[in-house]
């Protein structure tokens, strides 16, 4: 089982870059953000393909950044020459159009980008490109490891919630035998409140007929059988070693809730209501958690 929630930061000093990858839950795979420094933007398609090949579902946020100090990375070697040349171009441009030249580094970089002075394809060598893609894929492996680690904790929590439902269901099955007595007592109290002659009703068979109707309306045998089956399938799916599908777990969670809601409507107003409410509470927690399973 894999969680869809993870965060990693990976820095490669040799490449001079770092990357932060954050994943959150989502029904489909959504690469919400992929931020790249200008000189790496030509890699965007390759990077997106790597993300798609590593994740099935979830919202993915990727942010690359230059490692080390800005002076070490930006103002070194050829970069320094390029920036000096750009600075002269921007100063000339500013005078030509009658606008104030940039006053700080951020304004300078922003204007440089807007004028297209830093759009250079293949600004890194093919060897660097290969190394960059390999390093990014290794970063995604770290994300997967984090998702698996989170998934183990999530699985343990889900199993404890399932056990809680099974315990409440076991108690409900035990108490089900008392349902007939409960309904008879309820009917008797109703008759007394209406001041009807219970003896005459019994003689006519009407009393037993009313009790039978009440019990049939409150019979939850089918719901118990289906609920046990859904719990069994949920556990089997959640305990798979690989390829646990969160969407299927969510489906079974909906079925669990459907059966318990039906029980609640049939047992409404009885002493069994508390057991039903406790089961619904546990299922709601499961529904919230399975939305984070890939």
Average pLDDT, consecutive stretches of 10 residues, N- to C-terminus, the chain (294 residues): 93 91 92 90 94 93 78 51 72 74 65 57 74 95 94 94 94 74 68 59 59 69 92 92 85 94 78 86 94 88
Name residues whose C-beta falls within 8 Å of residue 277's C-beta, 6 or more positions apart in sequence.
264
Q: Where are the alpha helices (DSSP H) in 118-220?
A: 126-176, 179-194, 198-203, 206-217
Q: Assign residue 128 a region (left: φ > 0; alpha: ψ between -120 and 50; beta: otherwise).
A: alpha
Residue 103 is predicted with a pLDDT of 67
Residues 129 and 176 in one domain: no
Residue 106 is predicted with a pLDDT of 61
Identify any residues that bridge with 23 across adjacent strands, giving them in sequence order.
6, 60
Q: Which residues of 192-207 are buried (b: 16+ CB within 10 A; e: fewer)?
A: eeeeeeeeebeeeeeb
Residue 98 is predicted with a pLDDT of 72
Look at strands 29-35 and 58-66 and give their pairing.
parallel
Residue 34 sits at φ, ψ, to 5 deg, of -140, 95
Residues 50 and 158 in one domain: no
Residue 191 is predicted with a pLDDT of 62
Domain that holds residue 35: 6-70+125-146
What does the alpha-carbon distance between residue 8 and residue 21 come to, in Å, rounded to a whole number? 5
Domain boundary among 146, 175, 199: 146
The number of distinct structural domains making up the chain is 2
Q: CB of 215 within 8 A of CB of 183?
A: yes
Whether 189 maps to a domain, the answer reads yes
CATH code for the domain of 26: 3.30.230
Residue 121 is predicted with a pLDDT of 47
Residues 135 and 25 in one domain: yes
Whether 114 maps to a domain, the answer reads no
Residue 73 is predicted with a pLDDT of 44
- What is the 8-class DSSP label of residue 37? -
Q: Assign residue 11 a region (left: φ > 0; alpha: ψ between -120 and 50; beta: otherwise).
A: beta
Residue 235 is predicted with a pLDDT of 93
Residue 74 is predicted with a pLDDT of 46
Residues 218 and 162 in one domain: yes
- Beta strands across the sheet bearing 29-35: 6-12, 17-24, 58-66, 29-35
Distances in Å between the alpha carbon of 186 and those of 156, 175, 180, 270, 273? 42, 16, 10, 10, 15
The structure's pTM equals 0.67
Residue 85 is predicted with a pLDDT of 73
Residues 142 and 154 in one domain: no
């Amino acid at each position: 089982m894999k969680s869809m929630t993870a965060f990693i930061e990976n820095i490669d000093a040799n490449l001079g870059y770092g990357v932060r990858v954050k994943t959150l839950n989502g029904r489909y795979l959504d690469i919400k953000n992929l931020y790249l420094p200008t000189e790496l933007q030509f890699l965007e398609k390759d990077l997106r393909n790597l993300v798609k090949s590593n994740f099935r579902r979830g919202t993915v946020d990727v942010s690359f950044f230059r490692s080390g100090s800005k002076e070490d990375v930006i103002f070194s070697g050829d970069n320094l020459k390029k920036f000096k040349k750009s600075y002269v171009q921007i100063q000339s441009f500013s005078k030509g159009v009658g606008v104030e030249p940039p006053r700080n580094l951020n304004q300078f970089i922003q204007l440089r980008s807007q004028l297209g002075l830093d759009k250079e394809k293949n600004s890194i060598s093919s060897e660097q490109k290969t190394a960059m893609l390999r390093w990014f894929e290794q970063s995604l492996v770290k994300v997967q490891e984090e998702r698996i680690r989170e998934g183990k904790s999530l699985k343990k929590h889900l199993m404890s919630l399932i056990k809680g439902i099974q315990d409440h269901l076991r108690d409900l099955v035990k108490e089900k035998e008392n349902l007939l007595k409960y309904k008879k007592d309820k009917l008797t109290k109703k008759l007394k409140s209406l001041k009807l002659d219970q003896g005459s009703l019994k003689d006519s068979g009407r009393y037993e007929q009313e009790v039978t109707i009440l019990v049939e309306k409150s019979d939850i045998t089918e719901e118990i059988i289906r609920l046990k089956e859904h719990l069994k399938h949920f556990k089997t799916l959640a305990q798979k070693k690989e390829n646990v599908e969160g969407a299927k777990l969510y489906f079974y969670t909906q079925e669990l809730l459907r059966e318990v809601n039906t029980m609640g409507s049939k047992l409404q107003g009885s002493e069994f209501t508390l057991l039903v409410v406790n089961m619904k509470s546990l299922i709601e927690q499961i529904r919230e958690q399975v939305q984070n399973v890939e």
